[in-house]
Structure 1
Amino acid sequence: MADTRSPITYSCYYSCNRSGEQFVPEHVLSYQISGTLTVNNGDKDFIFNEGDFRFVRRNQLLKFIKQPPPDGVFKSVSIYLDQVALQNFSRKYGQNAGHSKTTIADPVIQLSGDSFLKAFMDSLIPYIEGDQPADTQLEILKQCEAIMLLMRAHPELKDILFDFSEPGKIDLEAFMNKNFHFNVHLNRFAYLTGRSLATFKRDFEHIFHTSPSRWLQQRRLQEAYFMLKEQGKTASDVYLDVGFEDLSHFSFAFKKAYGVPPSKIAG
């Protein structure tokens, strides 16, 4: 079945929101209309304020904090540049990635916006706020326009946009120790380390001598214990940060592992 989701999205929050897409499968071009977005990839924070443009690279594990301005609303608009759209553009306009790998390492890139990009982002609003469903062909044209404007303003992104290779096999132990706190399915971890799910599980048990699910829960609880004990944080502060979906599940797992609820771990 074809994916019928619109590539154009709009975020609007009246209070701070710490949930966010943790696996980003496609490139995204976004504009911050109001409020502040903080993006973390496990190594550092990337902060975007009102009027900022950003480009998020595909195949990233990221956490988002969406903070409205005082007495205001968090708003941002984005367009996804999926692989099909980029491959079609590549064929039509003869654009290809260079032979050498790009030197741009950051998963999220702040762009210097211009009047063309700003006008383009403004033109996306009717696709979200309109009363009638958007026309698929018009959305395809908008994706093409976004790619053209990115190439015009930031030609250095060419080797990222038109690199259609899949993740290669990487150091599994280092990757998991860095990314255990991202709450994604095992097949995502497998894909990002360049493995099938079966190979991922086999390699994982060879390295860690336990199953991925058991190791992930133990590692997340260890990190939570450290944050509670050494940093004086509360269960509400840490459960999302270490990769649990909800507070009750975290509290249950913590008490089962340590014999006491998180609230009894004094900082």
Structure 2
Amino acid sequence: MSESINYINYSCYFTTFREGEQFSSYNSLSMVISGEMELNDGVHQKVFRSGDVYLVRRNQLVKFLKKPGEESEFKSLSIRFDDEMLKQMSVDENFVLHERMKSPAFIELSGIQHLKYFMESLLQYQDLLENKSPELALLKQKEALILLFGHDPLLKNILYDVSAPYKIDLEGFMLRNYHFNVKLDRFAYLTGRSLAGFKRDFEKIFGTSPRKWLLEKRLQEAHYLLEKGKKSSDIYLDLGFEDLSHFSYAFKKQYGLPPSRLLS
């Protein structure tokens, strides 16, 4: 179950859960209360456990895997920072972004004790926040930002950057990120293009449509991994397929035999 109230989110899962679309559209500060959260941006992978605090950046491709503990469910607490609030704060502070900072899609902050204490204190407000107190939610959002910037002022260069992605190398981006399960309009947005412009540029570069290329690229990687002894159930989600039956059907259609035959 998950309750989302005024940008402060308390989550609880009793079984292992993977996010459907692997795209973070907003900045958020989170703490794992129990269980484990595994994050993977295609380059960096990290498992966060009870008491760990981390920041997830907006407009990033990230795989989220939530795992309950042996004797407890998965629980977490997150604060979402909406773009309009960040934009207004940057204006109030006369902040000027001189250069976009490059960093992983997520940043570990577990060693910052005052952030951990702050996140733990929010658990005491759960009932009030779930009763929809927008004034308190806004106050806690701003308090979290003050603590973040007090720890590292350079975080303003990340959180106050609410501009749209600029046009980047489409070929390199797709070769790095084809295994993320996101819609075409997300890929288009992240490469700084309209959907029509993305499709047009894509066909010029790859000589085929994005949907066909993505399917073939994912199946090629699946074929390679299956030959190495991997199981279909272990790889289909990591390659961007939403369910095992769809993966098996597409694989058989492409290669003329089901994935299980490749293992035998």
Q: TM-score, normalised by structure 1?
A: 0.90
In the alignment, is residue 255 of structure 1 matched against residue 252 of structure 2?
Answer: yes
CA distance in 1, matches of 2:36, 2:20: 14
User: Is residue 36–residue 48 contact of structure 1 (8 Å, CA) maintained in 2?
Assistant: yes
Structure 1 stretch displaced more, 37-46 or 211-220 = 37-46
Q: Distance in 2 between matches of 1:195 and 1:127?
A: 42
Residue pairs, 1:57-206, within 5 angstroms: 57-92=57-92, 94-102=93-101, 104-125=102-123, 128-129=126-127, 133-206=131-204
Q: 1:34 and 1:190, CA in 2 relative to 1: closer, same or farther beyond 3 A?
A: same
After superposition, what is the alpha-carbon deviation per residue over 1:120-154, rounded to whole angstroms, capped at 9, x for unaligned? 21343355555953122322222111111111122
Give me the whole-angstrom Cα distance separating, in 1, the residues matched to 2:259 and 2:213: 20
CA distance 1:16–1:26, shift in 2 (3 Å): same
Does residue 28 in structure 1 map to residue 25 in structure 2? Answer: no
Preserved contact between residue 97 and residue 162 of structure 1 (Cα < 8 Å):
no
Aligned to 2:215: 217
Contact 1:9 1:128 in 2 (8 A): no
RMSD of Structure 2 on Structure 1 (CA): 2.1
Stretches of structure 2 lacking an aligned partner (at least 5 in a row): none
Give the secondary structure class of the aligned counterpart of 1:226: helix
Partner of 2:47: 47
Asked if structure 1 preserves the Cα contact closer than 8 Å seen for 2:86 and 2:160, the reply is: yes
AA of the residue aligned to 1:248: S
Q: Distance in 2 between matches of 1:192 and 1:184?
A: 11
Residue identity opposite 1:233 in structure 2: K
1:163: Cα distance to partner? Answer: 1.6
The 3 A distance-change label for structure 1 pair 90 and 216 is: same
AA in 2 matched with 1:155? P
Change (3 A) 1:132 1:175: closer
- How many residues were matched structurally? 261
Aligned-pair CA distance for 1:114: 4.2
Task: Pick one of 229, 233, 241 that aligns with 2:230.
Answer: 233
Change (3 A) 1:123 1:81: same
Partner in structure 1 of residue 242 of structure 2: 245
**Per-residue deviation at 1:118?**
2.7
How far is the alpha carbon of 1:97 from its aligned partner?
A: 4.2
Alpha-carbon distance change, 140 to 210 in structure 1, aligned in 2, over 3 angstroms = same
After TM superposition, the runs of 4+ consecutive aligned structure 1 residues lying more than 4 A away are 112-115, 126-132
> Residue deviations 1:19-43, cap 9 Å, x none?
3551101111011212221111112
Q: The residue matched to 1:233 in structure 2 has which SS?
A: coil
Say if 1:128 and 1:181 are closer, same or farther in 2 by CA, change over 3 A.
farther
Distance across 1 between alignment mates of 2:161 and 2:95: 7
